């Protein structure tokens, strides 16, 4: 029975099309998202820490997080992708990394941030994997230790992207959204339910999250299925 359970919990690596094909229409859409985020910054409030979440599973939030991190790094910005989905992580698989140490390690021990940061094949792109699944992800993310780590990372990197669990499922994304400079909600055509999106919006508003906009993917109306759009506030 244990083997079956573990099999069901496995999460596959996401598609890094922004690495494989930089000239594809989808990659260009990620660049558009990047540009919109940059325009959302102001002189007195620069957006450096970004939460990517969704209302439910299978909507593309991890794919968006990883590809957006790649295009930010490609623009010359020192970028860190943090797998803050300590329940069903994917980042380590996408970048071919081990996951024996990561975010959960630095939040639950005295391990230094620099000890768990991984360089990638993409210039300017660094990754912190989720680490071993802890029994209390929400408590770790809401801790003073997380605030200290977040401040340290903000001094070391130009852009930090947090790949979070779905906001309607658990409180993790709410907690980090309340601390981050901006939050992006990912929805997927024929998967995301309208009531779930409304619930996600309500939950983010409760924590006074700065919602930058929505990434809408999987559109059948686009010439290239899987097109990504960005709608800012």
Q: What is the pLDDT along the chain (233 residues), one digit of tens a residue?
A: 333 333 333 456 666 765 545 667 788 889 999 998 988 877 677 899 999 999 988 888 999 999 999 999 999 999 999 999 999 999 999 999 999 999 999 999 999 999 999 999 999 999 999 999 999 999 999 999 999 999 999 999 999 999 999 999 999 999 999 999 999 999 988 888 999 999 999 999 999 999 999 998 876 654 444 555 555 55
Token code pair at residue 74: 């490609």
How many other CB atoms are found less than 10 A from the CB of residue 141?
26
Predicted pLDDT of residue 5: 37
Predicted pLDDT of residue 39: 85
Beta-bridge mates of residue 82: 128, 162
Which 3-state string (H, E, C) describes the chain?
CHHHHHHHHCCCCCCCHHHHCCCCHHHHHHHHHHHHHHHHCCCCCCCCEEEEEECCCCCCHHHHHHHHHHHHHHCCCCEEEEECCCCCCCHHHHCCCCCCCCHHHHHHCCCCHHHCCEECCCCCEEEECCCCCCCCHHHHHCCHHHHHHHHHHHHHCCEEEEECCCCCCCCHHHHHHCCCCEEEEEEECCCCCHHHHHHHHHHHHHCCCCEEEEEEECCCCCCCCCCEEEEEC
The whole model's pTM is what?
0.88
Token code pair at residue 103: 């975010």
Token code pair at residue 7: 């099999």
Predicted pLDDT of residue 43: 62
Those residues with Cβ within 8 angstroms of residue 124's Cβ, 6 or more apart along the chain or in another chain: 73, 74, 76, 77, 78, 79
Q: How far apart are CA 233 and CA 46, in angstroms?
A: 16
Predicted pLDDT of residue 41: 77
């Amino acid at each position: 029975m244990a083997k079956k359970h573990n099999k069901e919990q496995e999460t596959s690596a996401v598609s890094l099309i922004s690495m494989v094909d930089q000239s594809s229409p989808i990659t260009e859409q990620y660049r558009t998202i990047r540009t919109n985020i940059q325009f959302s910054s102001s002189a007195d409030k620069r957006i450096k820490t970004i939460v990517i979440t969704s209302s439910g599973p299978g909507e593309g939030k991890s794919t968006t997080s990883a590809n957006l991190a790649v295009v930010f790094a490609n623009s010359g910005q020192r970028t860190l992708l943090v797998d803050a989905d300590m329940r069903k992580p994917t980042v380590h698989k996408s970048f071919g990394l081990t996951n024996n140490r990561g975010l959960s390690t630095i939040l639950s021990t005295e391990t230094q941030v620099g000890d768990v940061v991984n360089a990638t094949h993409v210039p300017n792109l660094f990754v912190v994997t989720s680490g071993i699944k802890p029994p209390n992800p929400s408590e770790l993310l809401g801790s003073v230790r997380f605030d200290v780590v977040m401040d340290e990372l903000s001094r070391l990197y130009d852009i930090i992207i947090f790949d979070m669990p779905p906001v309607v499922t658990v409180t993790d994304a709410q907690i980090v959204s309340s601390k981050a400079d901006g939050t992006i909600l990912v929805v997927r055509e024929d998967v995301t339910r309208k009531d779930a999106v409304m619930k996600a919006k309500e939950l983010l508003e409760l924590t006074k999250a700065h919602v930058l906009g929505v990434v809408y993917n999987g559109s059948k109306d686009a010439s290239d299925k899987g097109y990504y759009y960005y709608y800012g506030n």
